[in-house]
Structure 1
Amino acid sequence: MPKRTAFLGKTLAAAGTAAALALATAVPAAAAEPTAVEQDVAQLYQYVIDLYNGLPADALRGVDRLIESPIPRIGPQSQAADGPIPGCTAGSLLTYANKLASQLTPLEGKALDALSGLSQLYVQGVASDKTPQVFGTDGQYTPRATTTIDKLRGFWDIESWNIQLVAWKGTDLGSQAKMVQTFSLGLAPAKVKAAAALATKVLYEVPAMQGGRNPLLTLNAFSAPAGSLGGKRVALGDGLLDTVDVLGFDDVSVESVVGHEYGHQVDFAHDNHPRNESAEMGPDAYGGYFVAHAKGFAWNARTQQEVIYLDAAIGDCYHSHGTPDQRKAAGAWGEKQATSQANPNRIVPSATMIEKFQKEYPKLMPPATAASRG
């Protein structure tokens, strides 16, 4: 979502000297009193900032989101380049998400910012797969999610018993008990109950939140390492699944996204933390290998093609997660590793897969560099 205050400042500057003088000499109008809803949203926003500031220092370290959300986030931000890559067009998922975000008013955007940050903390630090997890707005993806995580745990040669798969649901924001648990992670104890009550109030008094079903609240997925808040886990957002369905990738959505996020767990297990686009492109490759492999999903060529186009849909243009072309190439490379093996049943050790991809990675970068010169 654009920074509207910066935009407003530029607009006034462009109005010229006469307008500036008129503003300077006009009798100042009384500022409108904020409405009750505006006061609620502002107070909730402050509570959530205080909550994030009260978290342990390493609470969010290493947490890797699938996409850079168009909604401003409370908490640490990714270190992206100052400007977009010339000649690059963002993937269809980000384009669609930005379109949804652009339709929000400033008040709705602020409410969504606070609530989405709060919902991420719940799914990261409180939610547990020890209770039944329901994937998808109406639970429609639960069987596929369960099957996928079970296959992944048996596929890769890393410690897997303690990697949780948890559902990221905006409707959890409507539970007072869950919000009390969430604010207790870092907010002053005396403020926890009031903050939890306000969160559920804002959820329902701002209609654009749709009672937690606005897809932007959970339009993401992430993987978290052992040392972060809540420990090792993969979170799968309802809003992401709904959006991928709208874009036509429903056939492969759950398996591709969970396979990618589990790929981060493969990197975590080997202490592989690249500081370039291979941090995201590697999991694309591992996920492609998994879905194409005979002991993974053994998907056919047509379905493999759909997977790499979903990889491309998630690409960005900020030297952050990889461009659409780069992510598509990484997924295709992983699929080829599976389909070209002499022994289709052999699973390459995860450490070897990481090493192979890191050698391949520089070769996947020139297309974006060439495009930037065009």
Structure 2
Amino acid sequence: MSQRSRALGRTFVAVGVLVAAAAATAVPAAAAAPKPSSVEKDIAQLWREYEDLVQVPGLLNVLSESKPLVESPVFGSGREPGAKPGVIPGCTPGSLFSEVDKLRAPLTKLEQQAVDLIGGLDYLYASVVANDKSPQVFGTDGQYTARAAAAIDKLRGFWDIESWNIQLVAYKGTDAASPEKMTETFARAFAPARAAAAGALASKVVHEVPALQGGRNPLLSANAFALLPDSPGGKRVLLGDGLLDLDGRGGFGDVTVEGIVGHEYGHQVDFAHDNWPDGEAGELGPDAYAGYFLAHAKGAAWDARAQQEFAYLSASTGDCKHSHGTPEQRKAAAAWGERQALTQDNPNRIVPSATMIEKFRKEYPKLMKPRP
């Protein structure tokens, strides 16, 4: 596989931290604490079940090796081990982070624990248990299903990589509300009786914490992911309902589905070529590949307005932590990809994916140069 560590966990809130977050917040300090409520007991018990679940090697890898669209508080930082620490001076995170902060701000500590825990279980179900052999419903009310299906079909025919086994799977906050789905998830590690009990407990928590909105709180699925070929669920792209909802609120509803799926499919292009770029290049490359696909006459063939909107959508997911790229860098990468499609001599020719990767490698240093 890669010659470097693949523990890249990059998500809206970051991979690898689900376990750390569980260990840090699962059980409140006992000393002189008031008697816990029944809800607190349920959440603490579910955390313990979750911690045991993710000790299964395959599931632990899913948490640490996926490629999320945005850095996430649930999963941990996507920054490479040798990357520069700290916040980039003068940088303002993309608008998506502001929306997430607004949603998390009024939550109590217990509610935040519940969001992180249930969001983690939703992610594990989508990444390991669910598959595209059953009908996938995209959007909280299924409003994006047709567009998502059309986008993945178009991408499979556009890029010259093995594509028949790349699944597009819905990542839904409501999955944890289903005792059956959660039982299937816990059954990856537990005997049937314990799996059924843990699955029922997960569903109970979803319904007894009002802030979770029965699983419809966007925070539970505010991300998208690309999973590696050797992941337990195989090659797949996860498209989160919460992310689609937040992007829709931000005015990107016309481009969010195709743009996000195009980006995550771009990671599959990198995987297919054993391309594991360090630092921000790992995210800016897929931004560029998506831009190329969306502007190309044989791809989505978007007009100038939609192309510009996608560049701003990419900017909305930029961070300031040397992880996924700043808003300006992500916007520039998307626009660069679009220009490659618009300026090539033959508008109907699709550049081979290996060539696109090499072209981006040459462009990347320019994208990273700070403006004077």
Q: Specify if TM > 0.5.
A: yes
Match of 1:294 in 2: 297
Match of 1:52 in 2: 54
* Correspondence for 2:345 among 338, 342, 347: 342
Q: Deviations over 1:109-147 (max 9, x none)?
A: 111111011100000000010000111011110110011
The secondary structure found in structure 2 opposite 1:100 is: helix
Residues 30 and 65 (structure 1), Cα distance of their counterparts in 2 relative to 1, 3 Å cut: closer
* Correspondence for 2:360 among 341, 357, 361: 357
Match of 1:191 in 2: 194
- CA distance in structure 2 between the partners assigned to 1:30 and 1:88 by the alignment: 43
Match of 1:26 in 2: none
Q: Deviations over 1:15-74 (max 9, x none)?
A: xxxxxxxxxxxxxx953101110111111112111111123364445310111124x33x
User: Are residue 78 (structure 1) and residue 70 (structure 2) matched?
Assistant: no
Which of structures 1 and 2 has the bigger CA Rg?
1
Could you list the runs of 5+ residues in structure 2 that have no partner in the other structure? 1-12, 14-20, 25-30
| Structure 1 residue 254, shift from structure 2 partner | 0.3
- CA distance in structure 2 between the partners assigned to 1:31 and 1:267 by the alignment: 50
User: Are residue 120 (structure 1) and residue 123 (structure 2) matched?
Assistant: yes
Code of the residue aligned with 2:165 in structure 1: it is N
CA contact (8 A) 1:308 1:329 kept: yes
* Correspondence for 1:43 among 39, 42, 45: 45
* Correspondence for 2:309 among 306, 321, 324: 306
The secondary structure found in structure 1 opposite 2:54 is: helix
CA contact (8 A) 1:66 1:221 kept: yes
Q: Which region of structure 1 is more displaced relative to structure 2, 165-174 or 204-213?
A: 165-174
Question: Within 5 A, what are the aligned runs for 1:141-180?
Answer: 141-180=144-183
- CA distance in structure 2 between the partners assigned to 1:364 and 1:155 by the alignment: 25
| Structure 1 residue 362, shift from structure 2 partner | 0.5
- CA distance in structure 2 between the partners assigned to 1:43 and 1:271 by the alignment: 40
* Correspondence for 1:109 among 104, 112, 131: 112
CA contact (8 A) 1:108 1:206 kept: yes
- CA distance in structure 2 between the partners assigned to 1:275 and 1:188 by the alignment: 40
Residues 312 and 190 (structure 1), Cα distance of their counterparts in 2 relative to 1, 3 Å cut: same
Match of 1:18 in 2: none
Match of 1:205 in 2: 208
CA contact (8 A) 1:326 1:367 kept: no
User: Are residue 33 (structure 1) and residue 32 (structure 2) matched?
Assistant: no
| Structure 1 residue 300, shift from structure 2 partner | 1.2
User: Are residue 221 (structure 1) and residue 220 (structure 2) matched?
Assistant: no
- Equivalenced residue count is 341
- CA distance in structure 2 between the partners assigned to 1:129 and 1:52 by the alignment: 23
* Correspondence for 2:91 among 88, 92, 109: 88
CA contact (8 A) 2:62 2:227 kept: no
TM-score (norm 2): 0.88
Could you list the runs of 5+ residues in structure 1 that have no partner in the other structure? 7-28
TM-score (norm 1): 0.88
What root-mean-square deviation, in Å, do the aligned CA atoms of Structure 1 and Structure 2 show? Answer: 1.8
The secondary structure found in structure 2 opposite 1:85 is: coil
Match of 1:11 in 2: none
- CA distance in structure 1 between the partners assigned to 2:186 and 2:85 by the alignment: 33
Q: Deviations over 1:195-235 (max 9, x none)?
A: 11110000000000000000000000000111112000001
Q: Deviations over 1:131-179 (max 9, x none)?
A: 0011101111011001101100000000000000011111111111110
Code of the residue aligned with 2:146 in structure 1: it is P
CA contact (8 A) 1:91 1:324 kept: yes
Code of the residue aligned with 2:78 in structure 1: it is S
Match of 2:134 in 1: 131
User: Are residue 238 (structure 1) and residue 241 (structure 2) matched?
Assistant: yes
- CA distance in structure 2 between the partners assigned to 1:188 and 1:357 by the alignment: 48
Q: Which region of structure 1 is more displaced relative to structure 2, 267-276 or 178-187?
A: 178-187
- CA distance in structure 2 between the partners assigned to 1:162 and 1:113 by the alignment: 30
Code of the residue aligned with 1:251 in structure 2: it is D
Code of the residue aligned with 1:362 in structure 2: it is P
Code of the residue aligned with 1:79 in structure 2: it is R
